[in-house]
A and B are shown apart, each in its own frame.
Chain A
């Protein structure tokens, strides 16, 4: 940060020598994007704070009716909720930027501890879903572009729309019904069976990411168990994004197939399949990278629903629990954290997009 104070126009990436013309923009671009995270997070946290306080203080919301008015006042006094709202706001913002999200009301745990405990599970689920989305969406998108306007293309497009049109909880319930209840191939719910969970609990420093922890126990049964539990939730959530990828790849490959360099390759006798796979494929991937940022927001929203469907104990699952116990401090904390995650992942995606495609930088 010190370099910026000395001279804002100097290149920020430190590579003053041997710079290719225009290449120095990247450092500035990254810095601008990084600084843009702050207002985004700030606005979201502020918005959530204001909205949640419009309905009164969290203590009354959570415990009202169960405690006498005197006891409520006492609790409010102790938590500082009867001070002016802007004092509370300033304090809250300060706490959020130091990573302190307050203490839950219903079970009196620090919100940051809740976030750490359950965050790993959600990250794991979103990661698996992205894998499903890539593995399903990209090849099918290429296929649809290759077989453009034939019946295969039409059915793939309908499949993509179906992926979008099916709520994750409904596809989750159907998968569960078929593969767990009727066929009995996969477990019904949860992140691992009881025996594996006990094994994982015995680890010294559990990461919260079950797959890593399962490998650390050294018992392959645990690994298989964890993976088997992840299959259905990952498919349910992953298909949502797979449909988006399929459509994007199809549209973009068709777009690139009309370009002149493709015509020139075709005139040299390159086959259609090879054209799609080698020539039109890579340029079509850039838009995918740029939409992943938005997809992560979508996946996090979907994770709330998937986790409820499969009792996958992640942030979404616990969010719904806290919602039903009207514990709005916890809700506020979880929502704020998700806002940070979305902002940061958008930042990372923007940077990757800029590294791959120089035209993005401005």
Chain B
């Protein structure tokens, strides 16, 4: 257990094999453009979240400064570049601070669902039996259910609705986690069931490796090929779910954190009277972030699929696809 595996690497330097770097080098033309655009958007989003205290002119719950109250529904001006909301918050500041909330929720939700989903998937697929069958049926049921509704129910359970910053973020994240676990579970379980039958697992058993060792060294490491894709998809879905929760009034209170969905909910009435700035900016923020993450995920997906990958020279022909498949076979480790 103590011995850390030494990365032997026959195919170039570690740098060129790092996840995104490899794909970036592999991509050409439009596909590279989409990947780069996505990466730029994601980088901007992360920077905004990290530097929110420096970038935002005001606090997210600030209603007044030295010169008095901000005032309600003020149009964009020099003091308030994006105007103010109906409650008198500065729209620009809340949009910037919202990035921080979104990052926190994504990180917590994706990490939790990844760990729980993968572990459940490996155990369930490896051992099989009644528990496996029950888990499959339950996960299928959750998977088929409208995720927003489930998230709403979960957030009622966790916080009884609105709550503080940490409580709100945790409850939103946990609600989202529950929705996502089945996705990881299904993929990892299916792969585990497939890999379990492979010869190298048998050999490990013959040598006398423990179940734990087989699961984590031999099965899990081969079952995670598709996870980066699900991960990016989930990150964007997490933002949409968080915004959806905020929009139906089950998100985070405005005084605890800035949350784009809540701000959009408050802007419904504004829009009817022609006030556009309270809805536009938080909405655009959501769109750009989800767009960025999805572009990255889509590009990774296309690059992983030889049928969809644009090639350096010729456009993929059936023959090229066939060689690509062979390469995939060869890449199968151990």
A and B from one assembly? yes
Chain A residues engaging chain B, CB cutoff 8 angstroms: 39-40, 43-44, 47-48, 51-52, 54-55, 61, 149, 153-154, 157-158, 161-162, 164-167, 169-170, 173-174, 176-177, 180-182, 188-189, 251, 254-255, 258, 293-294, 297-298, 300-302, 304-305, 308-309, 320, 323-324, 326, 328, 331, 335, 338-339, 342-343, 346
Whether the pair B145, A297 counts as a contact (CB closer than 8 A) is yes
- Complex CA–CA separation, A119 to B140 (angstroms): 25
Residue-wise interface mask of B (141-182) relative to A, using a CB-CB cutoff of 8 A (1 in contact, 0 not): 110111111001110110011000000000000000000000
> A167-B264, A254-B308, A301-B244 given. 8 additional CB < 8 A pairs?
A167-B240, A167-B243, A300-B146, A301-B147, A305-B248, A308-B247, A326-B161, A335-B153
Which one, B29, B160, B244, contacts A55 given CB within 8 A? B160
Among A47, A154, A161, A309, which residue has the most Cβ atoms of chain B within 10 A? A161
A55/B141 contact (C-beta < 8 A), A167-B243, A173-B279 known:
no
- Complex CA–CA separation, A324 to B283 (angstroms): 23
Q: What are the residues of chain A within 8 A of B272 when measuring CB–CB?
A: 176, 180-181, 188-189
Top 5 A-B residue pairs of the complex, sorted by shortest distance between their CB atoms? A301-B146, A170-B283, A165-B290, A301-B148, A43-B141
Q: What are the residues of chain A within 8 A of B29 when measuring CB–CB?
A: 149
Give the interface size bracket for B toward A.
Answer: 35 or more
Nearest CB of chain A from residue B306's CB, rounded to whole Å: 11
A301/B154 contact (C-beta < 8 A), A161-B291, A167-B240, A182-B274 known:
no
- Complex CA–CA separation, A305 to B273 (angstroms): 20
Q: What are the residues of chain A within 8 A of B315 when measuring CB–CB?
A: 149
Whether the pair B144, A305 counts as a contact (CB closer than 8 A) is no
A167/B145 contact (C-beta < 8 A), A51-B154, A149-B30 known:
no
- Complex CA–CA separation, A114 to B247 (angstroms): 23
- Complex CA–CA separation, A293 to B315 (angstroms): 34
- Complex CA–CA separation, A55 to B147 (angstroms): 21
A165/B294 contact (C-beta < 8 A), A154-B30, A188-B272, A305-B148 known:
yes
Whether the pair B153, A52 counts as a contact (CB closer than 8 A) is yes
Whether the pair A343, B144 counts as a contact (CB closer than 8 A) is yes
Whether the pair A167, B244 counts as a contact (CB closer than 8 A) is yes
Q: What are the residues of chain B within 8 A of A52 when measuring CB–CB?
A: 153, 156-157
Does B126 count as interface, using CB distance less than 8 angstroms? no
Nearest CB of chain A from residue B2's CB, rounded to whole Å: 42
Which one, A40, A170, A305, contacts B287 given CB within 8 A? A170
Q: What are the residues of chain A within 8 A of B161 when measuring CB–CB?
A: 323, 326
A339/B264 contact (C-beta < 8 A), A181-B271, A258-B321 known:
no
- Complex CA–CA separation, A141 to B307 (angstroms): 17
A342/B286 contact (C-beta < 8 A), A167-B240, A305-B247 known:
no
Whether the pair B156, A169 counts as a contact (CB closer than 8 A) is no
Whether the pair A308, B294 counts as a contact (CB closer than 8 A) is no
Q: What are the residues of chain A within 8 A of B271 when measuring CB–CB?
A: 173, 176-177, 181
Within 8 A of A (CB), among B245-261: 247-250, 261
Does B276 count as interface, using CB distance less than 8 angstroms? yes
Whether the pair A48, B248 counts as a contact (CB closer than 8 A) is no
Nearest CB of chain B from residue A295's CB, rounded to whole Å: 11
Whether the pair A165, B249 counts as a contact (CB closer than 8 A) is no
Within 8 A of A (CB), among B73-121: none
Whether the pair A51, B287 counts as a contact (CB closer than 8 A) is no
Nearest CB of chain B from residue A337's CB, rounded to whole Å: 11
Q: What are the residues of chain B within 8 A of A48 when measuring CB–CB?
A: 153
Of all chain A residues, the one with the shortest Cβ separation from B305 is A251
Among B244, B249, B273, B295, which residue has the most Cβ atoms of chain A within 10 A? B244
A161/B321 contact (C-beta < 8 A), A43-B138, A55-B157 known:
no
Q: What are the residues of chain A within 8 A of B330 when measuring CB–CB?
A: none
Does B132 count as interface, using CB distance less than 8 angstroms? no
Q: What are the residues of chain B within 8 A of A149 when measuring CB–CB?
A: 29-30, 310, 315
Does B63 count as interface, using CB distance less than 8 angstroms? no
Whether the pair B156, A40 counts as a contact (CB closer than 8 A) is no
Nearest CB of chain B from residue A267's CB, rounded to whole Å: 14
- Complex CA–CA separation, A258 to B325 (angstroms): 15
Nearest CB of chain A from residue B334's CB, rounded to whole Å: 31
- Complex CA–CA separation, A294 to B147 (angstroms): 11
- Complex CA–CA separation, A41 to B264 (angstroms): 33
Q: What are the residues of chain B within 8 A of A180 when measuring CB–CB?
A: 272
- Complex CA–CA separation, A248 to B2 (angstroms): 47
Whether the pair A323, B146 counts as a contact (CB closer than 8 A) is no
Whether the pair A43, B247 counts as a contact (CB closer than 8 A) is no
Q: Could you show 15 A-B contacts with beta carbons less than 8 Å apart?
A: A40-B137, A48-B153, A51-B156, A161-B294, A165-B286, A167-B244, A170-B286, A170-B287, A173-B283, A297-B147, A304-B148, A323-B248, A331-B153, A338-B145, A346-B144
- Complex CA–CA separation, A43 to B142 (angstroms): 9
Whether the pair B307, A328 counts as a contact (CB closer than 8 A) is no
Whether the pair A167, B247 counts as a contact (CB closer than 8 A) is yes
Does B267 count as interface, using CB distance less than 8 angstroms? yes
Which one, B137, B141, B156, B267, contacts A173 given CB within 8 A? B267
Does B34 count as interface, using CB distance less than 8 angstroms? yes
Q: What are the residues of chain A within 8 A of B261 when measuring CB–CB?
A: 167, 169
Q: What are the residues of chain A within 8 A of B147 when measuring CB–CB?
A: 297, 301
- Complex CA–CA separation, A220 to B280 (angstroms): 36
Q: What are the residues of chain A within 8 A of B192 when measuring CB–CB?
A: none
Whether the pair B144, A40 counts as a contact (CB closer than 8 A) is yes
Residue-wise interface mask of B (281-304) relative to A, using a CB-CB cutoff of 8 A (1 in contact, 0 not): 001001100110011001000000
Whether the pair B144, A164 counts as a contact (CB closer than 8 A) is no
Which one, B138, B157, B236, contacts A165 given CB within 8 A? B236
Whether the pair B141, A44 counts as a contact (CB closer than 8 A) is yes
Does B10 count as interface, using CB distance less than 8 angstroms? no
Does B12 count as interface, using CB distance less than 8 angstroms? no
Whether the pair A254, B248 counts as a contact (CB closer than 8 A) is no
Among B140, B148, B274, B291, which residue has the most Cβ atoms of chain A within 10 A? B148
Of all chain A residues, the one with the shortest Cβ separation from B159 is A55
Q: What are the residues of chain B within 8 A of A342 when measuring CB–CB?
A: 144-146
Nearest CB of chain B from residue A162's CB, rounded to whole Å: 6
A305/B244 contact (C-beta < 8 A), A149-B315, A169-B264, A176-B271 known:
yes
Nearest CB of chain B from residue A280's CB, rounded to whole Å: 14
A51/B141 contact (C-beta < 8 A), A169-B264, A170-B287, A301-B149 known:
no
Q: What are the residues of chain A within 8 A of B291 when measuring CB–CB?
A: 161-162, 165
